[in-house]
A and B are shown apart, each in its own frame.
Chain A
C-alpha cells in the first residue's frame, strides 16, 4: 500500500480512507483541499481519520495523503505571547491569510520562521550533551529567557556551537556525529516529554486569591479541578490564576468556550502587570483558543497541544501553570468522535476510555527533575462544566479521582454575589501536609494553626446556621452570636474577593496572613470585652473595625493593617470602660 489513498466515507468530522498505509496518529491531508487530519483507528485497509477542519463539500473518491508524521507541536523561541488554535496554527496568521472568518485548508507555521533571535551558547565545543541539556539562551521576552535544549532523543559531543543571530531553523550547534541542532524542535503532542524523576510537590502555587492560598492551596506541580454550573465563576477564577499566580509561564487553553472570552484575555493581558515581575503579563503567556464553534477534532487536540508546550517550558526549569477551560468540552469532543466511530459507549455516551484519558492528562502535571537536572513543574488546573451543575456525572467524577484539589463553585453563592463562589464547606485540598513547612518558613510560624482556626470557625457557623434557621439568631447565647459575627467577617472580609476590583483582586500572601490574624484578633478582643460586660453590638460597631474592613480596597493596606488592628483592639477595649 502507498502513502496515498481515497476517501471512502465522510460523516461529520470523521472521514474513512481506503487503500492507504497508515499508523495510529499519523497526520494526513484529506481531500482536494488537503485538510489536516489524524488517523485514530485502523480497520483492515481502512483508516479512520478525525479531520481538524469542516468537511462540508468533500466527496468520496477525493485523495488522502499520509504525511507519516505524528501530530506534533513546534517548540522554540516565538511561542510566548502567541495565540493558537487547537492544532497550533497562530490565529494572527490565520487572520492575515483568510480574514476574520476561519475558513479551511490554510497551513500556517507555529511561529515566524524568518525572525532571528540572538543565541548565546552556554555550552562549548567538546562538551558531552544529551537530550534536554541546555546549550544556549535566547532572551525571548523582556522577562523570559528561552533555554535552547538538545532534543530529548539526541546525544553526543559538541563539535561546534556558535553565538549570534539565527532563525529557528538555522543550525546553532553540530555534534561530532554530524547531528545538527536548531533552536526549534518538534514533539508529538500525545506523548509526555521525558524527565528524570518526579518529586512530591512541597511549594505552593501562590495565586493571590485568599480562599485558595489559605484554605485550599494548590502545589506547584499539582493538579486542581474547578467544577461549577454555568455562570458560577470558572472562567473568572481561571483568568485570575493566569493573571496573578506566581508561575513563571502560563499556558491558557480556551477549549470549546466563548470567542469573546479569549478576545478579552488578548485585550487585557498586554496591559496588565504581572505582580511578580512588574512586567506585562503577556510576556509569560501562551494561549490556545479553540472556541466552541471551531472544529471539534481540533478541540480534542487542543489540551494536548497546550500541555506539551507546558512541559517544554518545564524542561527549561520553569514553573508552568496550565489552565484548561473547560475540560468538559474536551470530553464532549471525545464523545462526539467516539460516537461517529460507533464505539461502544460507556456512561452517558462518553467513551469507555474517558476516565483514563482524563487521568493521563493530569498525570502530565508534576514537579520534576528535568533531563538537564533542574527543578521544573507543570501545574494543571481544569474547569469542569457539569450538566445542570450536578457533579455526579462522568467528567467531574473522573477528574475528582485524580486531582488533589477540588475548588467547588456553588450556584447559590454566585447568586448571592459572594465571589469567588467557591464553597468552603465541600471544597478540599490534600496538599496542606506537604506545604505547611513552606508556609511556616516563609509566611508565619503559626500559619497552619491559623488556617485550622479559620476553617474551624466556618464549620461551626454552618452548624449554628441550622439552629438559627429554626429559632432566629437572637435566641442564641451571646458567645455563639459572637462566633456568627466572626464567621461573617471571615466570609465577607476574607473569603470574598472581587475578581475585578483593581486592588483587592490580588492579595499578597503576607497580607492574607495578616488579614486572617486580624479576624482572630478581633475574636479575642471581642471575647474579653464581652466577658467584661460590653455588648456585642458595641464591639462589632467600633469605627476602627469598619476602617479595617474597608482598608483592603485601598492601596498600601499591607503597611497599615497592623496599626488598624491595634486601633480596633483599643476601641473594643474602650467599650468596657464605657459600661
Chain B
C-alpha cells in the first residue's frame, strides 16, 4: 500500500496539514512527509474522506510547504515489542535514543490499545510497600492501581516518584518491578536526574525509557505515553512482568492535546482543553490493572503539575475522576522543609481497603490509619483557631491534638530520600507518636489494639 507520494497539500495550520485528491486513506494511518530540504517528518491521519485528508504532524509543521511530499504508510501506528525493550532508551516516537540498534521484533502492537474487558479484570489486592510512611499507612498503593501524584511546579514530585520506583516491593518479597518511564515535555535537567538515578541504582537495566523533552516536538507527546503503555502491556500480559509505569508530566500531554484541538477549530471545553479530554485521558489511565489468568500487572504512577496549584483545574480534575485516588504534594509542607511533603488530607487511595489488614499488612492498619488521619485533621484545623484565640484558650485534648499535628509532620511524614521503612516500622512509629495523646482521646482505636500495640503496654 505504501509507496505513492502525493503533492496535494492545500493548507497547513498549526500542527495540521490538509491535502486532497488521494487514494482512500485509512483513519489513523501513519504518514511520512518529505520536505523540500530533504527532511522527513511523521504524522497520523485525523480525518479522511474522498475529498480531503487531515494529518497531524508529530514534529510540528515548521518548514512544511505545499510542495512537501506526503506518503501514506498503509498502517496505523505500531510499536515493535520484544523483551529487548528492557534496558533501552527510546525517543518520544519510539526510535532509539541511546545509540543502540533498532528494536527488532516479530510482533508489532497497535499503540492505541484496546480496552480490557471488565469481565476479564482481576480486582487488585496486593499491598505494595513503598517504604514511605505517608503512603503505606494512609494512601496505600495496590498492585495494578493507577495512583497519580498531584503536584505543582517546584515541588519534589520527581524525588518521590524515584523513591517509590526504587523501593516499591511486595511485602516479604524481593520480586522487582520493571519500570517503564515516559517523559513528556520535561526539561533535560529533570530527565538527567531520572536517568542518573536509575543508572546509579542499577534500575536502568530493568527499565524502558520513552523520552520526549521540552525541546522535542510537542505533538509527539500525544503518542509517547501510548508507546510506553503498549510496551508495558506487552511486558505485563505477555511476559509476566510486574510493571510500574511512571509518566511525567501529564500537564504537558494535555497541553499538546489542547494545541491540536485548537488547530482543528474544535469547540473548546473548560479552559480551552478539548471536550473529549476525559475520554482521552481514560484511554491512558485505564490501561492499568490485572487480568485474570495472567501473572503480570500494570501499576501506574502518573505525575501532573497543577497549574496555579489549583486542584479544580481540568487536568487534575479529570484525572481524579478516572484514577483510583491521588497523592497530593503540598507546597506549604515543602516550604516547612518537610520531605516528602505529602498532604495526606486530600490524598486518597480508593483501593486501600482491599489490601490492608491482618492477612496482608497488620491487624491494626485500618484503625491506626483512621486515627492518625483524624487526629492530624483535627490538629491542623486547630492551628487556624489558635491563630485567632491563642493557644491558652484550648482545652487539654485540643492542646494534645495541636502538638500531635506538628509531631506528625516532623516524625511521621518526614523521612530521608533513601529511608525505606517497612510497614511494621511505619505502624510502630504511628503508635509511638500517638502515645503523645491520652488514650481516652484515641476514639478510633479499640481496647484490644491498644492493649496489643500501645507503647505503654509493650515491654
List A residues at the B interface (Cβ < 8 Å).
8-12, 16, 54-62, 83, 91-92, 94-95, 99-103, 229-231, 254, 256, 258-260, 262-264, 266-267, 289, 291-294, 296, 329, 332, 335-336, 339, 345, 348-349, 385, 387-390, 415-417, 472, 500
Contact = CB atoms under 8 A, between A and B. Distances in A.
A472 B389 CA distance: 9
B49 A260 contact: no
B117 A91 contact: yes
Contacts of B47: 9-11
Given A56-B26, A293-B115, A387 B324 contact: no
A259 B279 CA distance: 13
Given A231-B320, A472-B389, A500-B353, A9 B49 contact: yes
Contact of B48 (A60, A103, A339): A60
Contacts of A103: 114
B116 interface: yes
A57 B1 CA distance: 13
A102 B117 contact: yes
Nearest to B114: A101
A292 B286 contact: yes
Contact of B49 (A10, A231, A296, A416): A10
B115 A8 contact: no
A95 B294 CA distance: 14
B289 A260 contact: yes
Nearest to B346: A415
A98 B323 CA distance: 26
B122 to A, nearest CB: 7
B312 interface: yes
A462 B20 CA distance: 66
B66 interface: no
Nearest to A235: B350
Interface in B416-439: none
Given A231-B320, A260-B289, A387-B314, A60 B24 contact: yes
A100 B26 contact: no
B189 interface: no
Nearest to B74: A57
Contacts of A388: 312, 317
B234 interface: no
B110 interface: yes
Nearest to B320: A230
A267 B123 contact: yes
Given A230-B320, A230-B321, A349-B267, A332 B275 contact: yes
Nearest to B77: A56
Interface stretch (B10-18, B32-40, B161-169, B369-377): B369-377
B283 interface: yes
B358 interface: no
Interface in B279-333: 279, 282-283, 286-287, 289, 291-294, 312, 314, 317-318, 320-322, 324-326
B267 A100 contact: no
A415 B110 CA distance: 41
Given A59-B26, A259-B286, A292 B123 contact: no
A55 B27 contact: yes
Find the residue from B26, B119, B270, B318 having the highest chain A CB count within 10 A: B119
Given A291-B115, A292-B282, A56 B345 contact: no
Contacts of A262: 118, 121
Given A56-B112, A415-B345, 4 more contacts: A56-B28, A231-B350, A292-B282, A292-B286
A472 B393 contact: yes
A345 B268 CA distance: 10
A91 B118 CA distance: 8
Contacts of B112: 54, 56
B121 A263 contact: yes
A59 B25 contact: yes
Nearest to A83: B119
A493 to B, nearest CB: 13
Contacts of A95: 117, 119-120
B50 A60 contact: yes
Find the residue from B27, B50, B377 having the highest chain A CB count within 10 A: B27
A335 B275 contact: yes
Given A9-B49, A57-B76, A100-B120, A339 B267 contact: yes
Contact of B123 (A102, A231, A263): A263
Dominant SS among interface residues on chain A: mixed
A411 to B, nearest CB: 9
B266 interface: yes
A423 to B, nearest CB: 18
B348 A231 contact: yes
A294 B115 contact: yes
Contact of A60 (B25, B28, B351, B377): B25
A109 to B, nearest CB: 16
Interface string B330-354: 0000000000000001101011010
B121 A57 contact: no
Nearest to A336: B276
B317 A259 contact: no
B403 interface: no
B16 to A, nearest CB: 13
B29 interface: yes
A332 B293 CA distance: 34
A376 B89 CA distance: 62
A565 to B, nearest CB: 22
B299 to A, nearest CB: 12
B311 to A, nearest CB: 8
Contacts of B120: 91, 95, 99-100
B266 A259 contact: no
Nearest to A393: B270
Interface in B76-129: 76, 110, 112, 114-124
B321 A385 contact: yes
B202 interface: no
Contacts of B287: 293
A57 B27 contact: yes
Contacts of B291: 100
B117 A9 contact: no
B118 A329 contact: no
Given A60-B24, A263-B122, A10 B266 contact: no
A258 B47 CA distance: 29
A102 B269 contact: no
A332 B273 CA distance: 14
A415 B275 CA distance: 28
B317 A332 contact: no
B255 to A, nearest CB: 18
5 contacts: A11-B27, A57-B27, A229-B317, A262-B121, A263-B121
Given A56-B112, A472-B393, A259 B353 contact: no
B278 interface: yes
B286 A291 contact: yes
A334 to B, nearest CB: 10
Interface in B235-273: 237, 266-270
A58 B377 CA distance: 55
A388 B310 CA distance: 10
A53 B390 CA distance: 63
B448 to A, nearest CB: 14
The 4 closest A-B pairs by CB, nearest first: A9-B49, A292-B282, A388-B312, A56-B28
